[in-house]
Chains A and B, each alone.
Chain A
Amino acid sequence: MAAHPDVVVVGAGVVGAACAEALTAAGLRVTVLDRGAPASGTTAAGEGNVLVSDKEPGPELVLAQHSLRRWRVLLPALREELGPELAEVEWDAKGGLVVATTAAGAGSLTAFAAAQRQAGVRAEQLAPDRVGELEPLLTPGITAAVHYPEDAQLHPVLAATTLLAAVRARGGAVRAGVAALGLRRAAGGAVSAVVTSAGDLPTAAVVNACGPWAGAFATAAGAPITVLPRRGVVLVTGPLPPGTVRHKVYDADYVGAVASGDADLQTSAVVESTRAGTVLVGSSRQRVGFDDTIRVAVLRELARKAVALFPVLADVPVQRAYGGFRPYAPDHLPVIGPDPRVAGLWHVTGHEGAGIGLAAATGQLLAELLTGAEPHVDPTPFRVDRPAVLTGAEVRA
């Protein structure tokens, strides 16, 4: 290698890839490491959500709104740069449809949507008898419905590999099967190299983008943070005729499950089709550490709720099920910024189930902070030195 990288990004999931893309766009030399194959962890287990509908007003919604705009700019730019094949990420601005099936659910969904409208989200309340125009095969037992035309979906692995292709095209390196084991520090304490399974890699800046495993790398780097895994499982059906499921359709209780920190199993119906014609059925949230066993009881709940929303799905064969781990901080906000203890170490993780959608603005924000540019989003809520991220991390480590 001619010169050492300015920045080493550890973790080639969509968040690490977005950081590397933004850093190379800013002119820095970047090497991305992944202990396995790029985009093979949490990114490969995602549904590709680019959502504003599930976020209550607050810093994460602001980041989501910026990220939605950023994706819309970034993807055409990458298409120019890389060509249409390599920049194909199956972007689908399908819109979200959130429904309630109880009287109580109708009230809270309506209030939630009103608050989101105040925060600039397009949230269009539909009369329950008009929902069939958007989703003809949805159960008739709907008590309230809100249409979110801004919600979109993309193919998460294509998105990550497109971003990494841009990194390589700009002279960066992506090294698969190379594990980051820790840091070397200069006399003053600042980062001088990453210790890897393939030897030391000198650099002055390291970005910890290890997703749910970010806590482990932070500990190995001598700067523990609290990031925990939250299990999720998705069912995939065989291909269905186009138009069976048209939007991302989910039950309003999904919002409550997303915001909850409860360890017990939570499921809510999230149903959407992909470009291949298959239907994805989520979502489950469970705190089981890194136990990757797929439980029939969880699959059963997902199936039960999906069939309740779309009775037509009862006869559809399930083709596969897969699971993953969402990275979350105890206060359920992303972690984006410099480590307060080790100069040159940056953490970008904790996006929970929204990493695909939030990646574009996250990468941009990290690059702005790292290069000293004016941040386009207020980084304060995402800073590393907040109690939820630092408290207890030493004990856990």
Chain B
Amino acid sequence: MARLIAVVGAGPAGMAAALAAADAGAEVVLVDAAPRVGGQYHRQPPPGLADQHAGPGFARLEAELAGHPRVRHLAETVVWALEPRPGGHRLHLRTGPADSPHRTARVLDPAALVLATGAHDRALPFPGWDLPGVVTAGAAQALAKGQRVAVGRRVLLAGTGPFLFPVAQSLIEVGAHLVGVLEANRVGATAAGWLARPAALLAGRAKLPELAGYLGLLARHRIAYRTGHAVLAAHGTDRVEAVTTARLTRDWRVVPGSARRIAVDAVCVGFGFTPQLELAVAAGCDLDATGTCVRVDIAQATSTPGVFAAGELTGVGGADLAAAEGRVAGASAARHLGLAVPVPRAALRQVRAGRGFAAALAGAYPVRPGWRSWLTEDTLVCRCEEVSYGALCQAVRQRAALGGRVLRLTSRVGLGPCQGRICGRNAAELAEALLCRADQRPPLTPAASARRPIAAPIRLGELATTPTEPSEHGFASTDPTDRSEA
């Protein structure tokens, strides 16, 4: 289908991209794993629960997408494989609840592709982080926004970066007692990061009232916001009952004598985000110098012709930036199809300003190497396969398992259901730090660690019957209603 654009991910970036491309005349398929559009930022409660967060902006977007004659939203749909074909890419989809044995298969050959797959929380391992009741900040927020449920009654929130604030707000709104918010970076270090980029700070000044609002919210609820602090360990038998917190040095080592024990029944941790790279890697897109984000040009084009990327996938910068990138990416994808598209000047300007702010944010709230000193021999690095830090050390030191596939295969780190999405980056950093000599380190290929040809779980029986070619409508489907709709 010559005018078909597939947009993967229906968060702020994907929604904006879908509308921009459809407004320019393209036929758009918007694919997302959730039942409703919105992504993590605009996470929506199921029908029947009050909708407090979305605001008029979101309602308008959702209505516009639903009513657009050229946008088709495939809800509860995963892209489980992306493969190259001559002149483009082929997407393999499954629609239906993840545990359903009757998911519909579809094959899509879009003329252009916008990837807006977002990012997931980064959690750092520490003793006891595998106890029930220890969750990522994003999971706690999703529970609060999506189900209106608090993750616990006495909750501690810890990590780094301004994303902790909206999570705190969500927890307060669902009635959790927040015993504190711990920011691991110290004020001085954070300010130094900001001051290194004064222009970026200026560009992000619109965010300052928002930050002030969050600080006011915490003050009103008498919640301590401590910088230079972190959770060092979680304690409990069947679930978390208490945590040890401590003051940190600038590089996140523990200040001796600063440890304190606090009774809690839930801990939420968030240390920034890791973009979901597998589809971009499958499409052959180059990554940036950090190896954690997709590299794009000012038109949001990746290194692969016809593939555009927007949102946290290209660098974490928040919902406003993601939406602006989405508008640019959608317009660029439409232009790739040969449609006449006006230059999205306002969106391009917002992206430029937002990028500077995002870079400054990353500089101000880095993950510093001292976290590695919080681990003990028996701290689990990989929860799926129960690989301890000691086992990882043994694989690296004794077997010289130097990263990537070899480290995974010798230690089993990252071989479980999450396929390294949670632990891969941490394990790689730990392994690298164990090799004291540079000549022991083979060149790392970051894209290799995000290579997951099976991008979402699929049953062997589903795979055995999956269609491999799209129909003449650009769709191949095991759903008989597809033909008339498409």
A: which residues have CB within 8 A of B? Answer: 34-40, 44, 85-86, 155, 157-158, 161-162, 164-165, 168, 174-178, 198, 235, 237-238, 276, 278, 281, 293-297, 299-300, 303-304, 306-307, 313-323
Contact sample, A vs B, 5 pairs, CB 8 Å cutoff: A165-B398, A176-B400, A176-B442, A281-B460, A315-B101
Indicate which residue in A276, A295, A319 contacts B83 across the interface (CB closer than 8 Å): A295
A contact residues around B464 at 8 Å (CB): 300, 303-304, 306-307, 314
Please report the C-alpha to C-alpha distance between residue A94 and residue B466 in the assembled complex, in whole angstroms: 32
Contact of B460 with A318 in the complex, beta carbons under 8 Å:
yes
Q: Is the CB of A276 within 8 A of B415?
A: yes
The listed residue (B101, B398, B409) touching A155 by CB distance below 8 A is B409
Contacting residues, chain B, for A177 (C-beta < 8 A): 402, 439-443
Q: How far is the CB of A125 from chain B (nearest CB, A)?
A: 30
A319 to B454, CA, bound (A): 7
Which of A161, A294, A307, A322 lies in contact with B401, CB distance below 8 A?
Answer: A161
> Which of A164, A295, A317 is packed against the most chain B CB atoms within 10 Å?
A317
Which chain B residues lie closer than 8 Å to A317 at the CB level? 457-460
Within 8 Å CB of B166, what residues of A? none
Contact B84 A296 (CB under 8 A): no
Could you tell me if A44 and B442 are in contact, using CB atoms closer than 8 angstroms? Answer: no
Question: Per-position contact with A for B418-455: 1 when CB-CB < 8 Å, else 0?
Answer: 01000000000000000000011111000000001110
**Would you give the shortest CB distance from B44 to chain A, in whole angstroms?**
27
Q: Given contacts A85-B394, A157-B410, A296-B81, are A40 and B463 in contact (CB under 8 A)? A: no
B461 touches A314 (CB 8 A): yes
CB distance from B383 to the nearest CB of A (A): 15
Task: Tell me whether A307 and B406 are in contact (CB under 8 A).
Answer: no
Interface residues of B in 148-180 (CB under 8 A from A): none
Contact assessment for B468 and A37 in the assembled complex, using a CB-CB cutoff below 8 Å: no
B25 interface contact, C-beta 8 A? no
Contact A174 B400 (CB under 8 A): yes
Q: Is the CB of A321 within 8 A of B454?
A: yes
Q: Measured between C-beta atoms, what is the minimum distance from B345 to chain A in Å?
A: 38
Determine which of B84, B394, B410, B453 lies in contact with A321 in the assembled complex, contact meaning CB atoms within 8 Å. Answer: B453
Bound-state CA distance A295–B464 (Å) is 13
Query: Does the CB pair B460–A37 fall under 8 Å?
Result: no
B417 contacts chain A at the CB level, 8 A cutoff: yes
B461 touches A293 (CB 8 A): no
| Residue B92, interface by CB 8 Å | yes
A39 and B439 CA atoms in complex are apart in Å by 17
Q: Shortest CB–CB separation between residue B356 and chain A, in angstroms?
A: 36
**Nearest CB in chain A to that of B445: its residue:** A36
What's the minimum C-beta distance from B430 to chain A, rounded to whole angstroms?
Answer: 16
CB neighbours (8 Å) of B465 from chain A are: 300, 304
**B460 with A303: CB separation less than 8 A:** yes
Name B417's contact: one of A38, A238, A299, A322 (CB within 8 Å). Answer: A238
Q: Which residues of B contact A237 (CB under 8 A)?
A: 460
Q: From the candidates A162, A303, A320, name the one contacting B463 in the complex (CB within 8 A).
A: A303
Query: Hey, which chain B residues are within 8 Å of A322, CB to CB?
Result: 405, 453
Of residues 364 through 419 on chain B, the ones whose CB sits less than 8 Å from some CB of chain A are 385, 394, 398-406, 409-410, 412, 415-417, 419
Among B399, B443, B457, point to the contact of A318 (Cβ < 8 A). B457
Q: By the criterion CB–CB under 8 Å, are A319 and B457 in contact?
A: yes
Neighbouring A residues of B409 by C-beta, 8 Å: 44, 155, 157-158
Inter-subunit contact B417/A319 (CB<8 Å): yes
Q: Contacting B410 at CB < 8 Å: which of A158, A238, A294, A296?
A: A158
Tell which of B402, B439, B458 has the most Cβ of chain A within 10 Å: B402
Residue in B399, B404, B458 whose Cβ sees the most chain A Cβ within 10 Å: B399
Q: Which partner residue on chain B sits nearest A292 by CB separation?
A: B451
Contact between chains at A293 and B415 (CB < 8 Å): no
CB-based contact B402/A37 at 8 Å: yes
**Could you tell me the distance in whole angstroms from the C-beta of A291 to the nearest C-beta in chain B?**
10
Across the interface, A314 reaches (CB within 8 A) one of B405, B443, B459, namely B459
Write out the residue numbers on chain A whose beta carbons fall within 8 Å of the beta carbon of B84: 293
Chain B residues with CB under 8 A of A158:
399, 409-410
Q: Is the CB of A44 within 8 A of B466?
A: no
| B419 partner residues in chain A, CB cutoff 8 A | 319-320
B457 x A38 contact (CB < 8 A): no
In the complex, residue of chain A having the shortest beta-carbon distance to the beta carbon of B441: A177
Interface centre among A35, A278, A296 (most CB of B within 10 A): A296
Which residues B95-115 have CB closer than 8 A to chain A?
101
CB distance from B446 to the nearest CB of A (A): 14
Q: How far is the CB of A373 from chain B (nearest CB, A)?
A: 29
Please pick, from A86, A281, A295, A319, the residue contacting B399 in the complex, using a CB distance under 8 A. A86
Are the CB atoms of B83 and A294 closer together than 8 Å? yes
Indicate whether A320 sits within 8 Å of B453 (C-beta atoms), given known contacts A37-B403, A38-B406, A177-B443.
Answer: yes
Are A161 and B399 touching (Cβ within 8 A)?
yes
Output the nearest chain A residue to B90 by Cβ-Cβ distance. Answer: A296
* Nearest A residue to B399, CB-CB: A161
User: What residues of A have a CB within 8 angstroms of the CB of B403 in the complex?
Assistant: 37
Q: Is the CB of A296 within 8 A of B400?
A: no
B83 touches A161 (CB 8 A): no
Task: Report yes or no: B453 in contact with A315, Cβ–Cβ below 8 A.
Answer: no
Q: Cβ of A165: which chain B residues have Cβ within 8 Å of it?
A: 398-400
Complex A-B, nearest 9 residue pairs according to Cβ-Cβ distance, in ascending order: A314-B461, A177-B442, A303-B463, A294-B453, A161-B399, A37-B402, A303-B464, A304-B464, A157-B409
Assess the A161–B410 pair: CB atoms within 8 A. yes
Beyond A314-B459, A321-B453, whether A300 also contacts B466 by CB under 8 A is yes
Which residue, of B400, B452, B460, B465, has the highest number of chain A Cβ atoms within 10 A? B460
User: What is the bound-complex CA distance between A156 and B141, given in angstroms?
Assistant: 43
What's the Cα separation between A253 and B75 when bound, in Å? 42
Q: In the bound complex, what is the Cα–Cα distance between A314 and B453 (angstroms)?
A: 19
Given contacts A296-B81, A304-B464, A314-B460, contact A164 B454 (CB under 8 A): no
A158-B410, A161-B410, A198-B439 are known; give 6 further A-B pairs, CB within 8 A: A37-B406, A296-B92, A300-B464, A303-B464, A316-B459, A319-B457
CA distance A40 to B407 in the complex (A): 9
Decide: B461 and A38 in contact? CB cutoff 8 A. no
CA A281 to CA B439, docked complex, whole Å: 37
CA distance A235 to B83 in the complex (A): 16
- Whole-angstrom distance between the Cβ of B57 and the nearest chain A Cβ: 38
